[in-house]
Chains A and B, each alone.
Chain A
Amino acid sequence: AQKVTQAQTEISVVEKEDVTLDCVYETRDTTYYLFWYKQPPSGELVFLIRRNSFDEQNEISGRYSWNFQKSTSSFNFTITASQVVDSAVYFCALGEYGNKLVFGAGTILRVKS
């Protein structure tokens, strides 16, 4: 069965600090997809990244970066120089090919000025 674990329930940092959100997944599939979403207080899910299981290249997008390691079944997300606007709930999700997404419990990120 698929499972996503986000062990960090809540993280608080001061603005400009770097922060890493952890995500560990379990699946028996060889083809799968990993996602990160941001959910601000409004509730809408904001797509951040999608990564295929056969593409282990790390990715950087502005202040965001992702580290995908199949050997440890992890897909961690780092925000560099955090800002108050980064405060939100962040979800990691795992999807089989074309099928449903399984979400982690989410990590609440609070960035204080």
Chain B
Amino acid sequence: GAVVSQHPSRVICKSGTSVKIECRSLDFQATTMFWYRQFPKQSLMLMATSNEGSKATYEQGVEKDKFLINHASLTLSTLTVTSAHPEDSSFYICSARTPNQGLGYGYTFGSGTRLTVV
């Protein structure tokens, strides 16, 4: 089945530095990927939708200059948290849209990245 690999699984960084999170589709081409953020004991909130070869579409309230998304190939999307601050500490999860057998689409999720900014 479709597999999405997300790295790193955990990262600790100093306040003011940037962190890059990678999301790779291993056995399929992902034209569309989604990035979610999940704060402790809360639900997953969509941050942005990235389409290969074009600019990402950000949800309302998400700072596009702070959360840089690049989807330069059909198998890789990256999220860079720039000038990270403690309030950016969260669980980030990527998801790739996968063609589903039969009608419609499915969604495959990465294993998530736990970011801690100190």
Contact = CB atoms under 8 A, between A and B. Distances in A.
A98 interface: yes
A45 interface: yes
Given A43-B112, A44-B109, A97 B104 contact: yes
A90 to B, nearest CB: 11
A91 B104 contact: no
B49 A100 contact: yes
Interface stretch (A11-19, A58-66, A74-82, A101-109): A101-109
B15 to A, nearest CB: 23
A91 B46 CA distance: 14
B98 to A, nearest CB: 10
A102 B93 CA distance: 14
A78 B75 CA distance: 36
Contacts, number: 51
Contacts of B95: 101
Contacts of A43: 38, 91, 93, 111-112, 114
A98 B104 contact: yes
Contacts of B43: 91, 103-106
A109 to B, nearest CB: 14
A99 B95 CA distance: 11
A106 B36 CA distance: 15
Q: Give the interface centre of B34, B49, B91, B107 by most chain A CB atoms within 10 Å.
A: B107
B23 to A, nearest CB: 13
Interface of A: 31, 33, 35, 37, 42-45, 47, 50, 52, 91, 95, 97-106
27 contacts: A33-B104, A33-B105, A37-B109, A42-B111, A43-B38, A43-B91, A43-B93, A43-B111, A43-B112, A43-B114, A45-B93, A45-B109, A45-B112, A52-B103, A52-B104, A91-B43, A95-B105, A95-B107, A97-B105, A98-B104, A101-B95, A101-B107, A103-B44, A103-B45, A105-B42, A105-B43, A106-B43
